[in-house]
Amino acid sequence: MKRAKVLSMVLTLLFITVLSAGCNSQSPNQSTTANKEFKLGELTDAKTMVVNKDKKEIQILAEVNGKYLTESTRHGVVFKDGTNGEKSVLRGLSNQFDFYNALIEIGAKPGNNISLDDMKKAEKSVEGSKLNVFVTWDGLGKEIPFTDILKASENRPADIRFGGNLENATNLKTGCILCLDSCAVGITSNAAYKANEIESKQIKITGNPDVLPKDGTKVAVIFRLAD
């Protein structure tokens, strides 16, 4: 009787051990997925900017900000830790200072022609080297122009320029990488709209929900120095 009781206890403990091991085990796919680092081309979570001097190209990693698929903004790409980090269509994962230095590295020339006072009136357009800007993401299979991810109440061909503005960017810490109108703070901005024109004329620009992937999706923003 005593021997049978001991055997029963041993079998019970063995059953509990096997059951516990089964519950805690992961399939090979689950383990691989959990440990796999995000990668988009040469961009990764640890390498959020890639500079190619031969191609005169910069790629930065960013995230879709779903808020601006419906709300209007004048901010295209802003570094996530800047004071305007949550005010843009795309939340940049590289900072504005590294981006500025990368533009210098590929041979771009800053315009530095817009002052903070100019932002009070819609009269001046940003100057500086012209850049062609594209976007892509996992599964898209191609690059598309940055303007394709936007919806505007007044459409104009984009004219992205290296505005420069390093001093203002340093002092104000907005994080602005790409503004949708001519700007005294953004490292790059769109000369197609004069300084303050979007707000003064109440032009509405949002992300395009028919093109952009869902909120939080990581995308590559590609800046190429125009010939």
Please give the chain's pLDDT, 227 residues, in tens: 455 554 455 455 554 444 444 444 444 444 344 457 899 999 999 999 999 999 999 999 999 999 999 999 999 999 999 999 999 999 999 999 999 999 999 999 999 999 999 998 888 999 999 999 999 999 999 999 999 999 999 989 999 999 999 999 999 999 999 999 999 999 999 999 999 999 999 999 999 999 999 999 999 999 999 97
Do residues 123 and 22 share a domain?
Answer: no
Q: Check residue 23 and give its pLDDT.
A: 45
At 32, which helix (H) or strand (E)? Answer: helix 28-35
Cβ atoms of 216 and 62 within 8 Å: the answer is no
The structure's pTM equals 0.84
Alpha helix ranges (H) inside 36-126: 96-105
Do residues 25 and 46 share a domain?
Answer: no
Do residues 200 and 88 share a domain?
Answer: yes
Do residues 94 and 204 share a domain?
Answer: yes
- Total domains in the fold of the chain: 2
Q: Phi first, then psi: what are they for 76, rounded to 5°?
A: -90, -55
Q: Check residue 16 and give its pLDDT.
A: 46
Do residues 52 and 15 share a domain?
Answer: no
At 168, which helix (H) or strand (E)? Answer: helix 166-172
Do residues 13 and 84 share a domain?
Answer: no
Residue type, position 178, single letter: L
Q: Provide the Cα torsion 13, 17, 19, 20; round to 10°.
A: 130
Q: Could you tell me whether strands 75-79 and 90-92 are parallel, antiparallel, or unpaired per DSSP bridges? A: parallel
Do residues 124 and 150 share a domain?
Answer: yes
Do residues 20 and 48 share a domain?
Answer: no
Q: Check residue 5 and give its pLDDT.
A: 52
- Give the Cα separation of 167 and 41 in Å (integer): 32
CA 132 to chain centre: 16
Query: In which domain, by residue range, is 8 found?
Result: 2-35
Do residues 83 and 156 share a domain?
Answer: yes
Q: Check residue 122 and give its pLDDT.
A: 80
Do residues 26 and 86 share a domain?
Answer: no
Do residues 24 and 114 share a domain?
Answer: no
Do residues 91 and 203 share a domain?
Answer: yes
